[in-house]
Amino acid sequence: MSKDFICFSIMITGAVISTAVMVRQRRKKEMVIAGILTGIAIAALNMALEYFGSITDIYYVSGPWTLLKTPLPLSVGWVFMTFIYCAVYGRMIRRQRRKGALIGFIIGGVVIGWLADYSFYRAGILTLGSRGSPAVIMTVWVVFVPVTIFIYEFFMGFLEETSELDI
């Protein structure tokens, strides 16, 4: 498969699934807004990290329509994929208050991220630089997945507080 096909497939698949999730959660507008804002924040952080990785010769990401050393379809896809991850978290994990479920959900996100990056490596989308290693790439997911939950909780707290004031 070509890099372009993979990048656009991630973006389109993420958009389709996200749209279905948004339709199902139309009554929970705070969850939708928080998920979208988290997706945008994570995609922006990822773009900054990929830019830093390329200028320091740690790793490179290639694909169509490159913006700040990141393929634009992948960045848009990460917005949608992050939204989906947050929506699942918000519906299945957030209110349970069980630490084991949260830890398992985070570990699942990290493992899926590792598999995605390994797939990108095999497809030639992600290449290691002279200063890079698989351990460095794995660290990104270990940091980004919990940060995603933290950012989502931040936005949810803000939006829930704002909606209570509207009453």
Structural domain total, the chain: 1
- What's the CA angle centered on 95, arms 87 and 82, to 5 degrees? 20
- Asked whether residue 123 is domain-assigned, the answer is yes
What pTM did the predictor assign? 0.86
- Asked whether residue 60 is domain-assigned, the answer is yes
What does the alpha-carbon distance between residue 123 and residue 68 come to, in Å, rounded to a whole number? Answer: 21
Reported as a single tens digit per residue, the pLDDT across 156-166 is 988 877 666 55
Average pLDDT, the chain: 87
- Asked whether residue 53 is domain-assigned, the answer is yes
Mean per-residue pLDDT for 51-80? 88
- Asked whether residue 145 is domain-assigned, the answer is yes
What does the alpha-carbon distance between residue 123 and residue 59 come to, in Å, rounded to a whole number? Answer: 14
- Asked whether residue 42 is domain-assigned, the answer is yes
- Asked whether residue 163 is domain-assigned, the answer is no
Reported as a single tens digit per residue, the pLDDT across 87-134 is 999 888 877 777 788 899 999 999 999 998 888 888 888 888 888 888
- Asked whether residue 165 is domain-assigned, the answer is no
Q: In which domain, by residue range, is 87 found?
A: 3-156
